[in-house]
Structure 1
Amino acid sequence: MNLILWRHAEAEDTASSDLARQLTSRGRKQAQAGAKWLRARLDDHVTILVSPAARTVQTVEALTDQYRVVREIAPDASASDVLGAAGWPDGIAPTVVVVGHQPTLGHVAARLIAKSGDSWSIRKGGIWWIESRARSADSDPALREAVLKAAISPDLI
């Protein structure tokens, strides 16, 4: 399974509610850059899960209109909520993109890669690609490891 964590792009600081916050003009450019990078790398067997926040929906719409809004990955979700929604480590699809928030995505990355309870910083518009794989062909499926395939910020795209 490939799990791609995509933090929403830059959003305005205030709105009528946290879920209503919209992308800034810089955020729209970040979303376009991330979408272009992903578009060149994603295959047809991808499932995209998005927080119900307006800023995450606007971020993913730079890539596609084929996504599922999932309440379990809203702001303040837990790493377990995100991993459960994605079906880690086997996946609900060969590749799952989760468009969400900090610090949750940072918790997911730290938990999978370092088996840590910390939260790593994922920049706004940043993309982290993590792969679940067995250590060897004959190893126990429960002994899968998480491998970081890419960590990129929108400034580098």
Structure 2
Amino acid sequence: MDLILWRHAEAEELPETVTDAQADLARKLTPRGEKQAARMADWLDRQLAGSTRILSSPARRCEQTALALGRNFKIRDELAPGTTPAQLLELVQWPLSKTPILVTGHQPTLGQTVAVLLGLQESDCAIKKGAVWWLRIRERDGQMQTVVVTVQSPEML
């Protein structure tokens, strides 16, 4: 199974005085974020299998990031800010799914998921805005292993 974690690109800041969840979900990409999403989407489109399932957080910034790819995707409430790594992994059916899955989501959930899958000591792994972590499960000598296929950021494209 391939699991591709794509952090949303740069988004508008939420004013410090605004704390409601709906306002956070409505934040849009900045012009820089739109360019980041487009660069990464162009690269991803060349790499992804046609059968890849694409899931997105309901946050506007994630939806805009996923839209840049130009493929069909599903918005899943389970991927909203605050999702746990366990909830994300259950949603994508890790490691049993036979279909590659791309998730557009948020920090710290994506970084925490990477840390869990790689067995890192830290509870979080920093993922830059607009960046992709591509992970794969494989069996080697009777043991299941998580392999990092690639890590890519829009600034490097």
Same fold (TM over 0.5): yes
Distance in structure 1 (CA, Å) of the matches to 2:73 and 2:2:
16
1:105 maps to 2:110: yes
Which 10-residue stretch deviates more, 19-28 or 60-69?
60-69
Alignment identity in percent? 41
Partner of 1:64: 70
Provide the aligned length of Structure 1 versus Structure 2: 151
CA-atom RMSD, angstroms? Answer: 1.4
Which 10-residue stretch deviates more, 44-53 or 12-21?
12-21
Q: Which among 67, 80, 86 is matched to residue 80 of structure 1?
A: 86
1:36-75 residue CA offsets vs partner (Å, 9 max, x unmatched): 1101101111000100000000000000240011111110
Partner of 1:133: 138
The change in CA–CA distance for 1:115 and 1:89 in structure 2 (over 3 A counts) is farther
The change in CA–CA distance for 1:44 and 1:65 in structure 2 (over 3 A counts) is closer
Shift of 1:22: 0.1
Three-state SS of the structure 1 residue aligned to 2:135 is strand
Q: Which runs of 5+ in 2 are unaligned?
A: 16-21
Three-state SS of the structure 1 residue aligned to 2:104 is strand
Q: What letter corresponds to residue 109 of structure 1 in structure 2?
A: V
Distance in structure 2 (CA, Å) of the matches to 1:150 and 1:108:
15
TM-score (normalizing by structure 2) = 0.91
Q: Which runs of 5+ in 1 are unaligned?
A: none
Shift of 1:83: 0.6
Partner of 1:43: 49
Q: What letter corresponds to residue 39 of structure 1 in structure 2?
A: D
Runs ≥4 residues deviating over 4 A: none
